[in-house]
Chains A and B, each alone.
Chain A
Amino acid sequence: MGSHHIQTTLGERIARGLLRRSPLGFLVRRVAGMRASVHSKLLGAFLLIALLLIAMGAMSLQTIMSVSRQSRLLDQARERVDASRKIEHAVGVQLNVTRNAVVLRDVAPIEGVLRENTRFTDTLVGLQQAALAGESETISRLRAAEEKLRATVGHIAHLIREGNADEALEVHLTEGAPLFREIATLVTRVVQSEEVGMAELRGNVEAANRRALRLMGGFAVASICLALLLGFVISWSFIIPVREAQAFLGEVAKGNFDATIRVPNRDEFGALAARMNQMSRELHALYDEQRTLNVRLEQASQAKSDFLASMSHELRTPLNAILGFNEMILGEIYGEIPEDLKQPLTDIQNSGRHLLRLINNVLDLSKIEAGHMELALADYAVQDVVASVTTALRPLATQKGLELVAVLPDDIPLAYGDGGRITQCLMNLVGNAVKFTREGRVEIAADLRGDVLHYRVTDTGMGIAEDQLEAVFGEFRQENATIAGQFGGTGLGLSITKKFVEMHGGTIAVESTVGKGSTFFFTLPLRVETVETG
């Protein structure tokens, strides 16, 4: 598992422990590795649990039905016992009534009893039909004995009616009483047999109940365990690839394209992981391509800078000669020059100087870009920097009728930096201000706040459009070609100025209102500590 940013909870740690140290981990990998969709896996798990529940339902239904059948049998047995006892009781009553009839010589009670006793025949038939296998014979004998008793009682009644009481008593004692004892014995046997059967049934019901309880308990536990197991296995088979993906994407986001995501899943997550790997490879290829391109671009840029540097140097040598000779011609070293040649020669001189500035700027910029520019750090006076700029530009300002003012306290202490480059920066800004201002004034202000020097160059010139403000520090960016044509200039001055200010650890900014004028601000540390190269 790669690193991930999810806070690990206790539950999470337990789950991870289970995955590592139990067969659950194996199971999770197996489920993940199943070639089936996420949908099918979830459906399968739910179906499995549902089947278990259905089986549990069926089993309990069966148990309930069996218990109910046993109860019915028990009821029937109880009814049979009752019936048998009733018969026994009735027979006992019959015997007493018969004995009394014999003693009293009155048959009326016997006839009532006999009428009543015919009902038992139906009961006995019913009993015999429902009886347990072994009882049928007993009941047959019971029926026979009962019928015989009824016949005997009938016979006794007949003897009494005829007044033959002695014979009636004789019959009662020799036939009636033994038959009654036989009936009693048979009933007892039936009752005993039924009771044995009932005990067995009761035992069966109890056993069935116990079995049902065990079965239900077992099913419940199994269902819960299965649900938990499937829940755990399925959810982790999904969580693992998600976590892997998260860790993998984290690596890719950090730019590590060598990372690959490996998941055991052969479902949608597996497909997703494969896509992610493909994406990473594509990104890697793109990244490599871009890096190669960047290296080539850097080489090209270096070649350009080197070329510009050597070109500028080579160009300056002949230009130096042109300017030198031209100035000497103008200075009449070679003799007096005709009046009408003076202006063209002055034009040559000015154009040559402009070209020289251009070349110098290109050389500076290419040095900065190539990282070859180094600041010549030394103590310098801010007052000297400002003075040299005003001195150099005052003739031009005066010629244009502009007021050129420098405002700075005279107690600024000696500063440390590349005074020459700082002069160049201020010269660029003030030069632009003078160049782009037709009337009004140009003000240079400098002051020290804490350890930071603040310079400000304000003019009452044409101003810069708001959407161009950002771009003025770019290379070859005069606001538009018309302005360049109108005022001349290299288009590199501000770019170089910005770079020198930044090399000193300062910042530069501009504010402007079209038609009202512009203000350029730049800050420099009073004493430069570390030198940052372009």
Chain B
Amino acid sequence: MSTKTILYVEDNELNRKIVRDLLRRTSYRLIEAVDGEAGIATALAERPDLILMDIQLPKISGIEALRVLRSEPTAAATPIIAITSFALSGDQQKAKDAGASAYLAKPYSPFDLLGMIRKLAPED
């Protein structure tokens, strides 16, 4: 039974801790990055099964990081969930245009996120 790897790109420590706690009792392996630049580097190096990408990130924005990853052959097909900052702003559309597989508006319910993760990268 191979463990699925999830990369979470997020600058806020508390938000990362929520996902960390959420996935603790699952079979997923969580790796983290704190900005867009590190996110791209980690994604290309680790080749995770799913990426959770926050849109508001320091250095390189989540949207920009999405575009970069979609242009890389190794990451072009990886499912990416964009986490937009506010439920109803234009971020969703931007994320979609940049190549996100799905999006979730912050503040999100951790269980909704878990449901979405399980749908895009089912636990083995």
Interface residues of A (CB under 8 A from B): 316-321, 323-325, 327-328, 331, 333-334, 356, 360, 363, 374, 376, 378, 418, 420-421, 423-424
* Contact status of A376 and B109, CB under 8 A, knowing A321-B14, A324-B18, A325-B18: no
Contact with A along B72-111 (1 / 0, CB 8 A): 0000000000000011111011000000000000111111
Contact of B111 among A317, A325, A327, A374 (CB under 8 A): A327
- State whether A378 touches B93 (Cβ < 8 A): yes
* Contact status of A424 and B88, CB under 8 A, knowing A324-B15, A334-B21: yes
- State whether B109 touches A327 (Cβ < 8 A): yes
Query: Could you say which residues of chain A place their CB within 8 Å of the CB of B108?
Result: 324
- State whether A328 touches B21 (Cβ < 8 A): yes
Query: Could you say which residues of chain B place their CB within 8 Å of the CB of A320?
Result: 14-15, 106-107
Query: Could you say which residues of chain B place their CB within 8 Å of the CB of A420?
Result: 87-89, 92
CB distance from B70 to the nearest CB of A (A): 21
Query: Could you say which residues of chain A place their CB within 8 Å of the CB of B109?
Result: 323-324, 327
Query: Is B24 in the interface zone, CB < 8 Å from A?
Result: yes
Interface residues of B (CB under 8 A from A): 12, 14-15, 18, 21-22, 24-25, 86-90, 92-93, 106-111
Query: Could you say which residues of chain A place their CB within 8 Å of the CB of B22?
Result: 328, 333
- State whether B14 touches A323 (Cβ < 8 A): no
* Contact status of A316 and B107, CB under 8 A, knowing A321-B14, A321-B15, A420-B87: yes
- State whether A324 touches B88 (Cβ < 8 A): no
- State whether A360 touches B14 (Cβ < 8 A): no
A323 to B15, CA, bound (A): 11
* Contact status of A321 and B18, CB under 8 A, knowing A327-B111, A331-B111, A333-B24: yes
A378 to B109, CA, bound (A): 26
- State whether A331 touches B110 (Cβ < 8 A): yes
Closest-by-CB residue of A relative to B26 is: A333
Query: Could you say which residues of chain A place their CB within 8 Å of the CB of B110?
Result: 324, 327-328, 331, 333
* Contact status of A328 and B18, CB under 8 A, knowing A320-B106, A356-B107: yes
Show 28 A/B contacts (Cβ-Cβ < 8 Å), sorted by A. A317-B12, A317-B14, A318-B14, A319-B107, A320-B106, A321-B18, A324-B14, A324-B15, A324-B108, A324-B110, A325-B21, A327-B110, A327-B111, A328-B18, A328-B22, A328-B110, A331-B111, A333-B21, A333-B110, A334-B21, A360-B86, A363-B86, A374-B90, A376-B92, A420-B89, A420-B92, A421-B88, A424-B88
CB distance from A345 to the nearest CB of B (A): 14
Query: Could you say which residues of chain B place their CB within 8 Å of the CB of A374?
Result: 90
9 extra A-B contacts, CB within 8 A, seeds A316-B106, A323-B109, A328-B18: A319-B107, A321-B15, A324-B18, A324-B107, A324-B108, A333-B25, A333-B110, A420-B92, A423-B88
Query: Could you say which residues of chain B place their CB within 8 Å of the CB of A334?
Result: 21
CB distance from A502 to the nearest CB of B (A): 17
A444 to B89, CA, bound (A): 25
Query: Could you say which residues of chain A place their CB within 8 Å of the CB of B25?
Result: 333
A356 to B14, CA, bound (A): 17
CB distance from A385 to the nearest CB of B (A): 12
Query: Could you say which residues of chain A place their CB within 8 Å of the CB of B21?
Result: 325, 328, 333-334
Query: Could you say which residues of chain B place their CB within 8 Å of the CB of A376?
Result: 88-90, 92-93
A327 to B93, CA, bound (A): 28
A324 to B92, CA, bound (A): 21
A495 to B67, CA, bound (A): 38
A363 to B87, CA, bound (A): 12
A320 to B88, CA, bound (A): 16
A423 to B86, CA, bound (A): 15
A424 to B88, CA, bound (A): 8
A331 to B15, CA, bound (A): 17
CB distance from B108 to the nearest CB of A (A): 8
CB distance from B102 to the nearest CB of A (A): 16
A328 to B14, CA, bound (A): 13
CB distance from A148 to the nearest CB of B (A): 152
A356 to B15, CA, bound (A): 16
Query: Could you say which residues of chain A place their CB within 8 Å of the CB of B86?
Result: 360, 363
CB distance from B55 to the nearest CB of A (A): 13
Query: Could you say which residues of chain A place their CB within 8 Å of the CB of B87?
Result: 360, 420
Closest-by-CB residue of A relative to B94 is: A376
Query: Could you say which residues of chain A place their CB within 8 Å of the CB of B14?
Result: 317-318, 320-321, 324
Sorted from nearest, which 3 A-B pairs have the closest CB atoms?
Answer: A376-B90, A420-B88, A321-B14
CB distance from A11 to the nearest CB of B (A): 68
A418 to B92, CA, bound (A): 12
Query: Could you say which residues of chain B place their CB within 8 Å of the CB of A319?
Result: 107
Closest-by-CB residue of B relative to A376 is: B90
Contact of B107 among A323, A363, A418, A421 (CB under 8 A): A323
A360 to B88, CA, bound (A): 10
CB distance from B87 to the nearest CB of A (A): 7
Query: Could you say which residues of chain B place their CB within 8 Å of the CB of A327?
Result: 109-111
Residue from B18, B89, B107 with most neighbouring chain A CB atoms (10 Å): B107
A327 to B18, CA, bound (A): 10
A203 to B33, CA, bound (A): 137
Query: Could you say which residues of chain A place their CB within 8 Å of the CB of B111?
Result: 327, 331
CB distance from A129 to the nearest CB of B (A): 134
Query: Could you say which residues of chain B place their CB within 8 Å of the CB of A317?
Result: 12, 14
A378 to B93, CA, bound (A): 9
CB distance from A389 to the nearest CB of B (A): 13
Closest-by-CB residue of A relative to B19 is: A324
CB distance from A144 to the nearest CB of B (A): 148
A331 to B108, CA, bound (A): 14
